[in-house]
Amino acid sequence: MATMVFVNFPVTDVKHSTAFYEKLGFKKNEEFSTDETSSMVWDDHFWIMLLNHDFYSKFIKDKTIADTKTTSGALIAFSMDSADAVKKFAETAKANGGDYYKVDMGIPEDMMFGLEVQDPDGNSLEPNWMKM
**Over its length of 132 residues, how does the chain's per-residue pLDDT go in tens digits?**
678 899 999 999 999 999 999 999 999 999 999 999 999 999 999 999 999 999 999 999 999 999 999 998 899 999 999 999 999 999 999 999 999 999 998 999 999 999 999 999 999 999 999 998
- Residue 117 included in any domain: yes
When divided into structural domains, the chain yields a total of: 2
In a shared domain, residues 54 and 90 = no
pLDDT on residue 78:
94
In a shared domain, residues 88 and 123 = yes
In a shared domain, residues 44 and 97 = no
In a shared domain, residues 96 and 121 = yes
- Residue 52 included in any domain: yes
Range of the domain at 5: 1-60
- Residue 65 included in any domain: no
Handedness of CA 29, 31, 33, 34 (dihedral sign): positive
pTM for this model (two decimals): 0.90
